[in-house]
């Protein structure tokens, strides 16, 4: 039992370390929602039209406060569960980050890391 628990914790630690987005996210969210088109297809450098094609219209859009650009909020659905997901765009309109939180939470993390 101890070895299985240790193996499971090791896998979660590796998943957390491999995340290409903000480190304050739950790796279980990625595993649960990884097949969603928005999560699967959106990558850094894409423009907003490409993101809209992959994920559809966002729940809301807002101007970023910490860095120039905008941020789109989405709500992902999987088997009756919902999860927030954001896609942020830099001042040139290109994706610079995305992850399992709201735009406001992402902005708060940016402010805290400054």
The set of long-range contacts for 32-39, using a CB threshold of 8 Å and a minimum separation of 24, is: 32/78, 32/81, 32/83, 33/76, 33/78, 33/83, 33/85, 33/100, 36/76, 36/78, 36/85, 38/74, 38/76, 38/85, 38/87, 38/98, 39/76, 39/85
Mean pLDDT of the region 101-114: 91
Instruction: Walk me through the domains of the chain, giving residue ranges and CATH numbers.
Output: 2-112 (3.30.1450.10)
Is the pLDDT assigned to residue 20 strictly greater than 60? no
Amino acid 27: pLDDT: 84
The pTM score is: 0.75
pLDDT of 22 reads: 40
As a whole-number percent, the residues of the chain with pLDDT over 90 amount to 63
* Predicted confidence (pLDDT) at residue 56 exceeds the cutoff of 90: yes
């Amino acid at each position: 039992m101890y070895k299985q628990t240790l193996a499971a914790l090791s896998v979660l630690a590796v998943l957390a370390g491999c995340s290409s987005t903000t480190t304050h996210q739950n790796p279980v969210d990625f595993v649960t929602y990884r097949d969603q088109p928005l999560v699967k297809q959106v990558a850094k450098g894409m423009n907003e039209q490409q993101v809209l094609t992959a994920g559809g219209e966002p729940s809301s859009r807002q101007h970023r406060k910490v860095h120039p650009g905008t941020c789109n909020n989405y709500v992902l659905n999987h088997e009756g569960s919902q999860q927030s997901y954001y896609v942020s765009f830099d001042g040139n309109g290109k994706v610079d980050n995305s992850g399992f939180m709201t735009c406001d939470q992402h902005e708060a993390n940016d402010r805290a890391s400054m």
